[in-house]
Amino acid sequence: MTFCGDMLWLLIVLPAIGAALGLIMPSPRAAIRSVAIGVPVVAAVAAWAVVTVMRGGPLLSAGEWLHLDALAGYHVVVMMIVFVMSSLYAVPYFSHEPAGHELDLPAARRFAALWYGALAAMTLVMLSNNLGVMWVGVEATTLLTAFLICLRVSPSSLEATWKYLIVCSVGVAFAFMGVLLVAASAGHAAATDVHLLHWTHLQQIVKTLDPRLLKLAFIFIIVGYGTKAGLAPMHSWLPDAHSQAPAPVSAIFSGFMLNTALYCIMRYMPMVDAAWARNLLIVFGLVSIIIAAVFILAQHDLKRLLAYCSVEHLGIIALGLGLGPLGAFAALFHTLNHSVCKALSFFCAGRIGQACGTHDMREIRGSIRLSRLWGTGLFISMLALIGVAPFAIFMSELLVLKAMIETHGYISMAVFLLGTATVFVAVLRYAMNMAWGTGTAPRKDEPGSLLEWLVVVAPLALLLTLGLWMPASFRHVLEAAASIAAGRAP
Amino acid sequence: MHNTTDNIMAVLMLINLALTASSRLNLCISLVSLQGVALGFLPLFSHNGLNLRTAFLAVVVVAMKGVVFPRLLMRAVRGANVRREVEPFVGYGASILVGILLLGISFWVGNRLPLPVSAVSSDLVVPGAIGAILTGLFLLTSRKTAVTQVMGYLVMENGIAAFGLAVVPEVPMLIELGILLDIFVGVFVMAIVIWHISREFDHMNADQLSALKG
Amino acid sequence: MNWEGILIYAIALAAAPLLVGVINRTKAYFAGRCGQPLLQTYHDLAKLLRKGAVYSGTTTWVFRAGPIISLGAALLALAFIPLGGIPALFSFNGDFILVAYLLGVMRFFTVAAALDTGSSFEGMGASREVQFAAMAEPSLILGVVAVARGTGELTLTNILGAVSSDLWLAQGTVLALVIMAWFAVFLAENSRIPVDDPNTHLELTMIHEVMVLDHGGPDFAFVSYGAALKMWILGAFVVGLLAPVRTGQILPDLAAGLAGMLTLAVAVGVVESTMARLRLVRVPHLLLAAGAFSILALLLVMR
């Protein structure tokens, strides 16, 4: 056990070392390669830790400051999948940048360091047992990823960076008010307790906390972390940041950074009056779905479309969390599906965008002729994203629907169906036009390298497999994680 | 002891009001840093009083909020070569009225929160903290220049720090330093982005950062 | 009725015009001039009283009644004003509201007389006077309420009489805030820089002076004397807080009060010498800030 405890430290320290190494890489190529090689190594260590946890129960280490249970472990797995995919993808993406836009050495070093830094910060959020440290981690992800958006400085990328910085910093500051209020709810008795903000400690004394203050705290938490998670109406930074960032960065933003914030909200769920907190989440989820659907209808920019799609899917996850144990199960399942699928969509959108020189969907025509690999990947991933049948997202959305029927939430069901149907129709239209529409003359297709094929085919295979068959062990992991998020101690 | 805390909080509130009213960027930066310094001294006069831990934190806070932040912001303003005006969306007169209104709200809310305010700290701290948070939000939303938005963020952060001091006197050192580091990096990053913005746009007005829509 | 009240009433009547002289001498000192004699205001008043008045054909009885009623209101208000710890001639619960209203009556008739001339300049001055007064009055009253709440007294005499060095130790923040608010009100109501420049020669920028342009002879003497009394009244508010000497004996208290008045006059002179007049659009900000000080003081004592 002690060794595993040390391993938890390693998960944060290794990326930090990677960040330092990234700063001294001799060439842009080497910097990006270092990311593609280093991140899978970290992922392997993380996988080992997670397997230990799944077999042997929650881990506490470093004087109870670090904590890994099923919920955190599950998120770590999702995070590592997204990061490994994006790191591998970064190699072909940056080597195909149009002339004049290649990364120079400082930018590449910055990319490598910040990429590892973001990984370390997100891991810190997952592993932290202390709500205060968790907050520090979330704020750190904001600051570290800010310069990833304006890796290439341009007026629009700066605008996106500025909005991202200000909106998220202020939002997350709200979350800190929530953390303080949680601490305050413990009252005088606990005021001197050093372990006051430890999540495991709070679980034990949850009965003695002041419920009024906890409710107030939860409002701050959901608004604060909800801003970072891109829940409407606090999502205003999200489309800008996602559309201006380079594709691998958009992929980790959408694929996991949003989930990091939502994970924080999950941690607070078991402390608050369950029905009340769930209703709040349902409202935020439904509002996100509807607002995203409206904006998707009138969207012309491919990456902005995908960004709004993230708002919709994060809304679905929040909605699922608000629906009790089955809903939480569905929500966590959806987390994996959405992250993998959305990362893939951004990969394809990025490479198609490079080939076409634009992200305007009215000008992207015949993408499958343009590039068989990326065009097909974009089309299929968009289909999977809107919930076409054999893919896993369809299954998880169906589970959310089932949870709504079980809890008799017919009004929310109607809203959910309206929103997803709107998105379905709108995205399908864009996807078909982009895939087959006539317009631009087809250019010469470059056959993708083995790595590129792997990056596209592996996620699709995963989505397809999970859509058709869920392994029993995976189901157990999900159930364990869901029971923590739904507020029933494992 | 109580009296000193009271006076510090009164200064804090006055600075909030002054920030809503003042039009000079440099003056605003000085006011914000003064507020941060006043806040840094606050722990010395509440609960445990002077000991190694509070003294160390006070030194760090004062050095950061009193010296580092204003330098960074001043440099951003100077480098940006902009007009030294705050350029509000809301007029100064209306801003003062809003400031007064926020002050009233903060007292009203502060006295109604069922908080376990530690007996030794003054009952002005919570209203003052809420006032600073609200003022920070107001500055963030009502001013055009990017630097002013950073200041709004800092004022809000000051308010949260004061709030934390009132309700959770014994935040572990590690967390407190982590928070300070985050804020420091935040301001640093914002200053760099402002520098980039002013170079790209020839101005640093946040209201003109509106090309991305929909 | 008490003999101390009669004494300070008489002193106020006699010494009020002196404040203007002190202010002018201070400004002259700062400008490096000799300046007019300290007693110049008295000479002016005497000269004006000897002259006859000229009335325009367009004016009515309102124009003639204005200066007299204004002076009457000021004289009445003065009877409720204590000087530091020395009680006023009259006092009853809530008398500060009457004082505020008497000042309002004074202003109303000055403004009415100005409007009665039908001159556009005077109308302009009247509108500004009313606008700024409407913003200054809440600061004054809220400040009084704050100090009243802090001392637990309800008459002006007792409120200001209870301001001692002990109270300063206990509620110094509140008193300092109120002093700042009242000083701003003092400057605004008495038409001093940074609100209005009493020495300006451009009608467009005047406030008080332009309102009384058409008065002459004894009428103008009444107006000037009324203005001096108003300065004394508002000054007594500030000095009541600023000089917390409450020995209970008449001589030290009186000396402290008068010294406070002189200090205040010098301070006004310094402000006038070192500051520029605010643009008219910025004046409301100053008055709103004064209001903010008063409200903050009130909130601090009410918590």
A90, two tokens = 């970064």
A349, two tokens = 């959108």
What distance lies between CA A460 and its chain's CA centroid?
A: 18
Q: Are the beta carbons of B96 and C295 separated by less than 8 Å?
A: no
Q: What is the CA radius of gyration of chain A?
A: 21
Q: Is the dihedral of CA A20, A23, A28, A30 positive or negative?
A: negative
Distance between CA C45 and CA A255 in Å, rounded?
85
Q: Is it the case that residue A1 has pLDDT exceeding 60?
A: no
Interface probe for A, chosen from B185, B212, B213 (most Cβ of A below 10 Å), is: B212
Chain B interface with C: residues with Cβ < 8 Å: 3, 6-7, 10, 13-14, 17, 21, 92-93, 96-97, 99-100, 103-104, 107, 111, 123-124, 127
pLDDT band for position A449 (cuts 50, 70, 90): confident
Is the Cβ of B144 closer than 8 Å to some Cβ of chain A? no
pLDDT at position A440 is 59
CA distance, residue C173 to nearest chain B CA (Å): 6
pLDDT band for position A188 (cuts 50, 70, 90): low
Q: Is it the case that residue C241 has pLDDT exceeding 70?
A: yes
Q: Percent of chain C beyond pLDDT 70? A: 100
Q: Are the beta carbons of C292 and B104 separated by less than 8 Å?
A: no
pLDDT at position A200 is 83
3-state per-residue secondary structure call for A69-119: CHHHHHHHHHHHHHHHHHHHHHHHHHHCCCCCCCCCHHHHHHHHHHHHHHH
pLDDT at position C179 is 94
CB-nearest partner of C295 from B93, B100, B124: B100
Per-residue model confidence as pLDDT tens digits over C166-176: 888 888 888 99
Per-residue model confidence as pLDDT tens digits over A305-324: 999 999 999 999 999 998 88
Average pLDDT for C217-229: 94
Q: Is it the case that residue B87 has pLDDT exceeding 80?
A: no
pLDDT at position B2 is 56
3-state per-residue secondary structure call for chain C: CCHHHHHHHHHHHHHHHHHHHHHHHHHHHHHCCCCCCCCHHHHHHHHHHHCCCCCCCCCCHHHHHHHHHHHHHHHHHHCCCCECCECCCCCCCCHHHHHHHHHHHHHHHHHHHHHHCCCHHHHHHHHHHHHHHHHHHHHHHHHHHHHHHHHCCCCHHHHHHCCCHHHHHHHHHHHHHHHHHHHHHHHHHCCCCCCCCCCCCCHHHCCHHHHCCCCCHHHHHHHHHHHHHHHHHHHHHHHHHHCCCCCCCHHHHHHHHHHHHHHHHHHHHHHHHHCCCCCHHHHHHHHHHHHHHHHHHHHHHHC
C190, two tokens = 């008495």
The model carries a pTM of 0.86
Average pLDDT for A192-196: 67
pLDDT at position B4 is 80
Distance between CA C266 and CA C260 in Å, rounded?
10
Q: Percent of chain A beyond pLDDT 70? A: 95
When mean pLDDT is compared across A416-430, B35-49, C110-124, the lowest value belongs to B35-49
Look-up: residue for tokens 């009186």? C254
Most confident segment among A357-366, B107-116, C107-116: C107-116
Q: Are the beta carbons of B170 and A191 separated by less than 8 Å?
A: yes
Peptide bond into A233 cis (omega under 30): yes
Distance between CA A238 and CA A342 in Å, rounded?
14
A184: three-class secondary structure by DSSP: helix
For chains A and B, CB pairs below 8 A equal 126
CB within 8 Å of B112: residues ≥ 6 apart: none
Distance (Å) of CA A226 to CA A321, B134, C255: 13, 20, 66
Helix (H) or strand (E) holding A59: strand A59-61
B208, two tokens = 């003109």
Q: What is the mean pLDDT of chain A?
A: 87
CB within 8 Å of A282: residues ≥ 6 apart: A318, A319, A322, A323, A409, A412
Q: Are the beta carbons of B103 and C284 separated by less than 8 Å?
A: no
Q: CB A476: neighbour CB atoms within 10 A?
A: 12
Distance between CA C200 and CA A225 in Å, rounded?
59
Please work out, in degrees rounded to the nearest 5, the angle formed at the alpha carbon of residue A351 by the alpha carbons of A348 and A353: 105
Amino acid code (one letter) for A385: L
Distance between CA C303 and CA B130 in Å, rounded?
15
For chain A, the 3-state helix, strand and coil shares in percent, each to the nearest 5, are: 80, 0, 20
Q: CB A2: neighbour CB atoms within 10 A?
A: 7
Q: Are the beta carbons of B17 and C296 separated by less than 8 Å?
A: yes
- Bridge partners, A67 (sequence order): A60
Q: Is it the case that residue A483 has pLDDT exceeding 70?
A: yes
A166, two tokens = 């200000």
**Using an 8 Å Cβ cutoff, are B183 and A169 in contact?**
no
**Using an 8 Å Cβ cutoff, are C36 and C24 in contact?**
yes
Average pLDDT for A358-376: 84
Q: Is it the case that residue C119 has pLDDT exceeding 50?
A: yes
Distance (Å) of CA C163 to CA B3, C79, C156, C172: 18, 20, 11, 10
CB-nearest partner of B10 from C282, C289, C300: C300
Q: Is it the case that residue B7 has pLDDT exceeding 80?
A: yes
B183, two tokens = 């804020």
Q: Is it the case that residue C221 has pLDDT exceeding 60?
A: yes
CA distance, residue B200 to nearest chain A CA (Å): 6
A66: three-class secondary structure by DSSP: strand
B-chain residue closest to C173, CA distance? B7
Distance between CA B93 and CA C290 in Å, rounded?
12
Classify residue A152 by its DSSP letter.
Answer: S
pLDDT band for position B204 (cuts 50, 70, 90): low
**Using an 8 Å Cβ cutoff, are C262 and C22 in contact?**
yes
Q: Is it the case that residue A437 has pLDDT exceeding 90?
A: no
Q: Are the beta carbons of C303 and B124 separated by less than 8 Å?
A: yes
Q: Which residue, A449, A439, A341, A345, is CA-closest to A392?
A: A341
Average pLDDT for A267-277: 84
Which chains have at least 3 CB atom pairs separated by less than 8 Å from chain C?
A: B
Q: Is it the case that residue C45 has pLDDT exceeding 80?
A: yes
Distance between CA A346 and CA B55 in Å, rounded?
50
Q: Is it the case that residue A3 has pLDDT exceeding 60?
A: no
Average pLDDT for C2-17: 92
Distance between CA A483 and CA A470 in Å, rounded?
18
Look-up: residue for tokens 């005497």? C46
Distance (Å) of CA B191 to CA B61, B105, B181, B185, B212: 19, 32, 15, 10, 22
Ramachandran category for residue B87: left, alpha or beta (phi over 0 → left; psi -120 to 50 → alpha)? left
Which chains have at least 3 CB atom pairs separated by less than 8 Å from chain A?
A: B
pLDDT band for position A193 (cuts 50, 70, 90): low
pLDDT band for position A132 (cuts 50, 70, 90): confident
pLDDT at position B84 is 66
Per-residue model confidence as pLDDT tens digits over C15-36: 999 999 999 999 999 999 988 8
**Using an 8 Å Cβ cutoff, are A59 and A1 in contact?**
yes
B-chain residue closest to A194, CA distance? B172
CB-nearest partner of B14 from C282, C296, C303: C296
Q: CB B28: neighbour CB atoms within 10 A?
A: 26
| Chains A and B make contact, 3+ CB pairs within 8 Å | yes
Q: Percent of chain B beyond pLDDT 70? A: 84
When mean pLDDT is compared across A31-35, A463-467, B117-121, the lowest value belongs to B117-121
pLDDT band for position A489 (cuts 50, 70, 90): very low
